[in-house]
Chain A
């Protein structure tokens, strides 16, 4: 999953969550393949960011799944508190899900 400024979105990308306009109105559901018409409409309604499936755009600051998992291990190195370790597990599940479609 990636959340991108509207200018980065191209037809064919799939929404990961609903697209909502500035007044809270839903413009498009989740899992929808975006078309040129969608993008025009989003622009008209002042949408700034859209969350799409996968990691379609290479962002210079974005890490790969391997880098993310490695960083996670490092941040939790030597930690034995069971609650913190549970948080680590949850994060791992979250990351695997986030990077699933790539």
Chain B
């Protein structure tokens, strides 16, 4: 099929959320509550706490090293105050996707949590507000790849083959097969789910900074974090080599290259914690 037609088909399927895990029923109620100014954090926490599975997932993510809070986050109210309602909403919306991710593709899961941790360090260094939101964008940046695997498996396998046999660039392979790349798929779906534009742009532009309009710094952080995690060799993605770096990221962030070494030293302890976290998840999945 011609890539343009294919692109239309993919978007149609995504719009209908065909083949995707259903969103937890709590999401809709949460959305209505968040929009209502009279609703307090306590009331939102109460709603979430009614769902024990979601509650334990949120607390676990809130306590993992990519957010890096020194204090133990032990209640939903606590998590809401530290992470903010935006992040909590995203974690709930994407909880089933992330479950698939760490069960089916540990390499990509590790890559994603690594990028989240790295993005948080960068966001703090350049003083972006709500660094935990940027970490969450890092967690989601390859969401499109998970979607390809879940909802377009046949095409996904073809993409892998193109990369392996014909040594094609992963982005080009996606565009040829699906008419759309994973950054666009992720952003498209995030829009469908009404997630904040700041995170959507960061995901959408993480391989092409010119796509960022309002949130250039956020996009530059995710782009740089993605390249640095590939360079460090933590986790796995379709890139077996370090992906291309847009040097403009340094300029956009007013970041001096000399920070990179310091960053690797700051990042390494986090990567250890994340590895222990992933191993724990793996053991639980295997035990199920």
Question: Which residues does A use to contact B, with CB under 8 Å?
Answer: 1-5, 17, 20-24, 46, 49, 51, 59, 61, 68, 71-72, 74-79, 81, 83-84, 86-88, 90-91, 93-94, 98
Contact of A22 among B71, B228, B231, B240 (CB under 8 A): B71
**In the assembly, what is the distance between CA of A59 and CA of B271, in Å?**
13
Question: For the complex, what is the distance from the CA of A58 to the CA of B221, rounded to whole Å?
Answer: 34
- Evaluate contact between B245 and A49: CB separation under 8 angstroms: no
With A77-B241, A83-B245, A90-B261 known as contacts, the answer to whether A72 contacts B269 (CB < 8 A) is no
Contact between A86 and B257 (Cβ–Cβ < 8 Å)? yes
B70 near A20 with CB under 8 A, answer: yes
Closest beta carbon of chain B to A42's beta carbon, Å: 13
Closest B residue to A61 by beta carbon equals B275
In the bound complex, residues from chain B placing their C-beta under 8 Å from that of A84 are 227, 231, 242, 245
- Chain B interface main SS type: helix
Knowing A87-B260, A90-B264 touch, does A4 contact B233 (C-beta < 8 A)? Answer: no
Q: For the complex formed, measure the closest distance between the CB of B107 and the CB atoms of chain A, giving whole angstroms.
A: 12
- Tell me which residues from 209 to 248 in chain B have a Cβ below 8 Å from any Cβ of chain A: 227-228, 230-233, 240-242, 244-245, 247
A residues less than 8 Å from B72 (CB atoms): 22, 46
Taking the closest CB of chain B, its distance from the CB of A81, in whole angstroms, is 6
Q: Is B268 touching A98 in the complex (CB atoms < 8 A)? A: yes
CB B16 to nearest CB in A, in angstroms, measures 39
| B279 at the binding interface (Cβ < 8 Å) | yes
The 5 closest A-B pairs by CB, nearest first: A3-B272, A3-B269, A94-B264, A22-B71, A90-B261
Mark interface residues in B257-287 (1 if CB within 8 Å of A CB, else 0). Answer: 1001100110011001101100100000000
The answer, among A1, A61, A91, A93, for a CB contact under 8 Å with B231, is A91
User: Could you tell me the distance in whole angstroms from the C-beta of A31 to the nearest C-beta in chain B?
Assistant: 15
Tell me the smallest distance from the CB of B156 to a CB of chain A, in Å.
Answer: 23
Taking a contact as CB atoms under 8 Å apart, the answer to whether A79 and B242 are in contact is yes
Contacts of B70 in A (CB 8 A): 20-24
B269, A51: Cβ atoms closer than 8 Å: yes
Which of B232, B244, B247, B275 touches A91 (beta carbons < 8 Å)? B232
Q: Known: A46-B72, A61-B275, A75-B233. Is A93-B261 also a contact (CB below 8 A)?
A: yes
Chain B hits for A2, CB < 8 A = 272
**Complex interface: chain A residues within 8 A of B241 (CB):** 74-79
Could you tell me the distance in whole angstroms from the C-beta of B221 to the nearest C-beta in chain A?
16
